Structure 1
Amino acid sequence: MAEAERLAASVVAGAHGRRRAGPGETFWQYRQAMPGDPNTAVDWRRSARSDHLFIREMEWEAAQTVWVWRDAALSMDYRSEFAPRSKIERATLLALALSVLLIRGGERVALVGAPMRPATGETQLRRIAAMVAEEPAPRPDFGAPPETPFLRGGKAVFLSDFLGPLETLEPALMKAAEAGVTGAMMQILDPAEERFPFDGRVVFESMGREVDFETHRARGLADAYRRRLAERRDALERIARRCGWRMTTHHTDVSPRRGLLWLFGAIGAPGR
C-alpha cells in the first residue's frame, strides 16, 4: 500500500484533473460569456473590469462511482528477465494507486466481484487494499471479469493481460455498456510477451501447466506470434469502441506512473 501511496502522490500534480463545471459551492474559474448564457450567470463585478462579459463557473461536486477489476488469474503471474515486476504485481499497484487518487478526490470506488458496495473514505481504501492482497482460489489460467450489478452512469476500469478467450470478456463489457457505464481497459503485458525474444529449443507452458508446447525453432514462430498478438489487440480495441470504452496496452518494464496517468485521464476527463 505504501508504494501505491507514493505512486499516487507522484501523479497528483501532473494528472489531468477530474474538475469540471457544474452545480457546487466551490469556485472554479471565470470564462467569457457565450450566446445562450443567461444574464443571471454573468458575474457583473468581474465583467466591469473588462470589455467582455464573464461567467463565474463553480466546480462540479457530485461524486462518481468507479469499479475496478484487477485480473488475478495465473497468467498474470508471468515475469520475464526483462521486467522488474510480474503482471499481477503491476496491476495490483495500479489498482491501488488509482483507488487512492479517486477516493481522496471524493469518488466512490469498489472492486468488481468483491462483496463490497461503492464507497469513499479511508475505511473503504483499507478494505480495497485488504481484498486485493487476498489470493482467490481456485485461480484459472486466464481471467474474465465477473458479472457485476453496475450502477447506471458509473465508470469502470479493467486491468488484465486479456489473453484468455474473448467470448468471456465481451459479455461483461456489453452488460456494463447497457447500464450506461463507460470505462477503460488496460492490457498489461510483459515485454517478452510483446517482443517474443525466444530462440532454439523452448518449451512454452501456461502458468497453470494446463497447456504446453515444445519447439526447436522458436525464432521461426516469432512473426506468426506477433501477428496473432496484433490481431488480438485489434479485436480488443473493436470491443472497447463498440461499448464506448477506451483501451491501451501497458508494459511492465515502463514506469507505472505513465500507466496511472493514462487511467486517471481516461476515466476522469469530462466527456470521455
Structure 2
Amino acid sequence: MLTPEHLHGLRNLSLAARQAAEGFLSGAHASRRHGAGMEFSQYRPYQPGDDLRRLDWRLAARSDRYYLRESEVDTSLTVHLLLDASASMNHRDDNGLTKLEYARLLLAALAYIATQQGDAVGLTILHPAGLQHLPPRADTRQLPRLYHALETAEAAGRFPATETLAPLTARRQRALMVCVSDLYEDGNEINSLLSRLRATSGDVLLLHLMARNELQFSYQGAVTFKDLETGQTLQIDADQQRAAYQQQLQLWLRETAQAARRQGFDYHLVDASQPLDGGVREFLRKRNLTP
C-alpha cells in the first residue's frame, strides 16, 4: 500500500487519489439490482400491478403464460463527503502530516471511487466561518471541483455552531454521508450534527481520524501541549502520564464507538499514520462494492 507520506509528497491530489483508489477498484464489483434497464438478465412471472410494457408477448403466445423481462442495471448513490476543518485538524503526526492533509487524501480517494461508480458526489467543508458546499453532481467536471476545494481547505477555529450547520439538514435527501473528523468538540456538536444527518439522509459513515502520536502517546519527558482551538497550554511529564493517558484514551474510544453505533452510524477508527486502505475499505463495504 502507498503510504500517506508518499501520496502527500506527490503534490498532486488528483494523481494521489487515483493511485490510492485504483488498487481497491480492481477488486471491487459493481453493485447491481434487477430492474427495467438495458441488459437482459432473466424472466419472472407476471404479478398484478407490474408494468405491462415489460411483458414478453412472444413468450406468452408460445407458452400461454405471462412473463416479464428483467434486466440488471448498475445502482448509483448520492455520496456526500463532510470534512471537519476545525483547528484541531492541524495536529501534526510523527510522519509529518497533519490530520487535515491526511483527510484531504482520504476524501479525494473516496470521491474518485464514487465517481468511477457513477455516483453523484458532493462535498461540504465544515468551517466555523461558514460552510463551503459543493452540491452532489455526477458530471465529469465535479472531481476537479472537489479536488480544488480540498486542496485549498484550511483548518481554523472551533467546530461550527448549530446555526451555521442548519443548511445541511434543512431538507431530506437520501444519501450516504461520509464524515471525516477527529471528533474534537466542546460539547456534543459533532454527534448532534451526525444524528440529524442520520434522520434526514439515512446512512452515515463516520471515519474517526486520529494521529499515531495521539494513539500511542509517543512523547517523552517534559512536554508542553497547546490546545489548537482554545490556545490553552498544559505542561506534563509524558513518561509519568502515559499509562493514565492510555487508559483514558481506550475508555473514550470504546465509549465513542459504542455511542456511534447505538445511534445507527457506521463507525471506523482511522490511524493517520497508516495507508488509506482502512477508510477506503469501509466506504467500499458501505457502498456494497467489497470483493
Q: Is the 8 A contact 1:23 1:61 kept in 2?
A: no
Do the aligned partners of 1:64 and 1:108 also contact (CA within 8 Å) in 2?
yes
- 2-structure distance, mates of 1:144, 1:249: 24
Alpha carbons 1:141, 1:206 under 8 Å: kept: no
Question: Alignment length, in residue pairs?
Answer: 247
| Match of residue 39 from structure 1 | 45
Give the equivalent residue in structure 2 for 1:204. 225
Corresponding residue number in structure 2 for 1:33: none
Who is 1:91 aligned against? 103
CA 62–2 in structure 1, closer or farther in 2 if over 3 Å, else same: same
Q: What root-mean-square deviation, in Å, do the aligned CA atoms of Structure 1 and Structure 2 show?
A: 2.9
Provide, for residues 193-215 of structure 1, a one-character-per-residue CA deviation record: whole Å limited to 9, x for no partner.
Answer: 00112232111112357121002
1:10 counterpart = 2:23: yes
Give the match for residue 265 of structure 1.
285
User: How much does 1:235 deviate?
Assistant: 3.2
Residue of structure 2 in register with 1:19 after alignment: 31
Quote the Cα distance in structure 2 between the aligned partners of 1:66 and 1:193: 30
1:104 partnered with 2:116? yes
Identity across aligned pairs (percent)? 20
- Alpha-carbon distance in 2 for matches of 1:193, 1:212: 16
Query: Which one of 199, 211, 233 corresponds to residue 253 of structure 2?
Result: 233
Once residues 283 and 253 of structure 2 are traced to their aligned partners in structure 1, the CA distance between those partners, rounded to angstroms, is: 18
Residue type matched to 1:237 in 2? A
Structure 1 residues 111-260: aligned runs within 5 Å:
111-112=123-124, 113-136=131-154, 139-141=156-158, 146-147=165-166, 148-149=168-169, 151-208=172-229, 210-215=231-236, 217-260=237-280
CA distance change for structure 1 residues 205 and 23 in 2, over 3 Å: closer, same or farther? Answer: same
CA 1:173/1:261 → structure 2, altered by over 3 Å: closer, same or farther?
A: same
User: Higher strand share goes to which structure?
Assistant: 2
Counterpart secondary structure, 2:224: strand
Q: CA deviation at 1:3?
A: 0.6
Q: Which residue in 1 is equivalent to 2:59?
A: none
Distance 1:76 1:144, change over 3 A: farther
TM-score under structure 2 length normalisation: 0.74
TM-score, structure 1 as length reference:
0.79
Q: Distance in 2 between matches of 1:18 and 1:243?
A: 29
Q: Secondary structure at the match of 1:22?
A: strand
Counterpart secondary structure, 2:97: coil
Unpaired segments ≥5 residues, structure 1: 31-36, 42-54
- Residues 269 and 165 from structure 1, CA distance in 2 versus in 1: closer, same or farther, beyond 3 angstroms? farther
Matches of 1:126 and 1:151, distance apart in 2: 27
CA 1:211 to 1:156, structure 2 compared with 1: closer, same or farther past 3 Å?
same
- Contact kept in structure 2, 1:66 and 1:110, CA below 8 Å: yes
Structure 1 pair 253/124, CA: closer, same or farther in 2 (3 Å)? same
Gaps of 5+ in 2: 1-13, 48-67, 125-130
Amino acid at match of 2:92: R
Deviations 1:10-36 (CA, angstroms, capped at 9, x unpaired): 221123x45032324254977xxxxxx
